[in-house]
């Protein structure tokens, strides 16, 4: 079984809709992250959490929110989706520096 899982794997939604992406990890790490990938821009950090009570904004947090429901679960929400949020979204977890990534969610906002 995968150490980091993401649901859904693919999602098409309309502008203005609320959507939640979910992430679970079985590695037992305290740190979890949400990134988005756009062509040529690499992975950009949206939010990160060092433990259940700790939530921090990353480089591009506008338009997103997160919830850390448990050590193993970290969800990302788009309260009102817009087309420029069309991207590949990755969840990751880490103990120290090296991060372990989920398989990604491809989100399309029409």
Partner 1 sequence: DQQVKQNSPSLSVQEGRISILNCDYTNSMFDYFLWYKKYPAEGPTFLISISSIKDKNEDGRFTVFLNKSAKHLSLHIVPSQPGDSAVYFCAASASVGNAGNMLTFGGGTRLMVKP
Sites of contact with partner 1 (CB under 8 A): 4, 31, 35, 40-45, 48, 50, 56, 90, 92, 96-104
CA distance 10 to 54: 28
Q: Which of 31, 21, 78, 25 is nearest to 52 (CA)?
A: 31
**Closer Cβ to partner 1, 54 or 79, answer by number:** 54
Cβ at position 75, least distance to partner 1 in Å: 17
Closest CB to partner 1 among residues 2, 79: 2
Taking the least distance from each CB to partner 1, the nearer of 15 and 56 is: 56
- Minimal distance in Å, beta carbon 61 to partner 1? 14
Distance (Å, rounded) from C-alpha 110 to C-alpha 62?
A: 19
Q: In the complex, what is the shortest distance from the CB of residue 76 to partner 1, in angstroms, rounded to a whole number?
A: 15
CB of 98 to partner 1, least distance (A): 5
**Is residue 39 within 8 Å of 24, Cβ to Cβ?**
no
| Shorter beta-carbon distance to partner 1: residue 9 or 14 | 9
Closest CA to 21 of 93, 91, 94: 91
Q: Answer whether 36's CB lies under 8 Å from 59's CB.
A: no
């Amino acid at each position: 079984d995968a150490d980091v899982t993401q649901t859904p794997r693919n999602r098409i939604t309309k502008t203005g809709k609320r959507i939640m992406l979910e992430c679970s990890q079985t590695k037992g790490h305290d740190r979890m992250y949400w990134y988005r990938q756009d062509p040529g821009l690499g992975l950009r950090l949206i939010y990160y959490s060092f433990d259940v009570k700790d939530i921090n904004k990353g480089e591009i947090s506008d338009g997103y929110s997160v919830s850390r429901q448990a050590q193993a679960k970290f969800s990302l929400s788009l309260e009102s989706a817009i087309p420029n949020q069309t991207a590949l979204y990755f969840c990751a977890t880490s103990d120290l520096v090296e991060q372990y990534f989920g398989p990604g969610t491809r989100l399309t906002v029409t």
